[in-house]
A = this chain, B = another copy of it.
Amino acid sequence: MIATVHPLRGPGRAPSLDPLLSLVAADMNKVNGVILTRMESHVPLIPELAGHLIAGGGKRMRPMLTLACARLVGYQGTRHHLLAATVEFIHTATLLHDDVVDSSSTRRGRRTANTIWGNSASVLVGDFLFSRAFELMVEDGGLRVLKILSRASAIIAEGEVAQLTAQRRIDTGEERYLAIIDAKTAALFAAACRIAAVVAERDEAEEEALDAYGRNLGIAFQLVDDAIDYASDRGTMGKDAGDDFRDGKVTLPVILAHARGDEADRAFWREAITGVRNDEGALVQAMGLLERTGAVDDTLARARHYGRRAIDALGRFPDGRAKAALIEAAEFATSRAY
């Protein structure tokens, strides 16, 4: 299945993350320094395991957002370096635990930490990174930042448990699914952006605008990921096509195809998601139903809706390099080739 690329900004150069990367490059070096220094421990397995994931080719999207939003609001200090590292530690801790929960064997094309070092090590090093994140926040000393990130962490965990509960349940509706990804994915994007306004001591309205940008961007990213799962191959995405299908994950493409299908379709999806029949033949059939119902294309359309909301949330901020980079990042999120 080949989807059409729909850039939000009209024809021309395809949107990319390059402007964002170049905007925050110097700051990101500082953040990387903090990350490397602060994942150290006298227990060698900790930096070894954490380093595998942290150095493992992630985009570091969340700390980049903290840095770019700080630039957007004209922040002149250095608190954002420590806090961006904090956000990445929280994210890394959740990835480590996610891979245990999902029994994932690859992430971004590399073997997962739980495959190499075992589930126990992944759980415990995740706990360490999470604790270390809070230590860094306490070092920063801002109670408002602590409040935002501790709240986000609790919401992420709640979202993960909710997703676990929804797993293999074909009766999960779009509203409930959006609530889950709002919690498990978008909450940290929102917090990563919001804290930039906090350290810059901007007003509540700007905090909320950055929160809205991050939240909508996070939802868009997740929905595009959901769509990609029904089109990717391991070589390009580090993820096998149909991973979600085999895990019985009820994502938006499935929810739409199920809602739009007839009785026979619904019976198929029920069997597929409950794992009664989810072999390669079933995956091929699923792809056909997704195609016929337009479920993947409309998942991408939903993603573009959130991408546009993210961009509009930036309306109040002055034009300039930071704003342009953040807008293009949102365009990129919903136009990733797949």
> Which residue of chain B has its CB nearest to the CB of A122?
B123
Give which listed residue, B100, B120, B128, B147, contacts A157 with CB less than 8 A: B128
Separation in Å of the A185 CB from the closest CB of chain B?
15
Q: Mark A154-179, 1 if CB is under 8 A from B, else 0.
A: 10111011101100000000000000
B-contacting residues, A136-154, CB 8 Å: 137-138, 141, 143, 146-147, 150-151, 153-154
Q: A132 near B: Cβ within 8 Å?
A: yes
> Which residue of chain B has its CB nearest to the CB of A93?
B127
The answer to whether A124 touches B150 (Cβ under 8 A) is no
Task: Give A276 to B14 CA distance when docked, in angstroms.
Answer: 60
> Which residue of chain B has its CB nearest to the CB of A121?
B164
Task: Give A150 to B123 CA distance when docked, in angstroms.
Answer: 17
Task: Give A156 to B138 CA distance when docked, in angstroms.
Answer: 17
Taken together, the copies of this chain in the complex come to: 2
Q: Give every chain B residue within 8 A of A150 (Cβ-Cβ).
A: 131, 134-135, 137-138
The answer to whether A164 touches B130 (Cβ under 8 A) is no
The answer to whether B134 touches A120 (Cβ under 8 A) is no
| Interface size of A as a range | 35 or more
Given contacts A158-B43, A161-B46, contact A153 B124 (CB under 8 A): no
> Which residue of chain B has its CB nearest to the CB of A133?
B150
Q: Give every chain B residue within 8 A of A100 (Cβ-Cβ).
A: 119-120, 123
B-contacting residues, A312-327, CB 8 Å: none
Separation in Å of the A275 CB from the closest CB of chain B?
15
Give which listed residue, B41, B146, B161, contacts A121 with CB less than 8 A: B161
Given contacts A146-B146, A164-B120, A165-B43, contact A154 B141 (CB under 8 A): no
* Chain A residues proximal to chain B, CB less than 8 Å: 41-46, 94, 97, 100-101, 119-121, 123-125, 127-128, 130-132, 134-135, 137-138, 141, 143, 146-147, 150-151, 153-154, 156-158, 160-162, 164-165
10 contacts between A and B (CB under 8 A): A41-B161, A45-B164, A46-B158, A46-B161, A128-B154, A130-B153, A131-B156, A134-B153, A137-B150, A141-B143
Additional A-B contact list (12), CB under 8 Å, known A45-B164, A132-B154: A43-B165, A45-B161, A46-B161, A94-B127, A100-B119, A123-B123, A127-B130, A127-B157, A128-B161, A130-B153, A131-B150, A137-B150
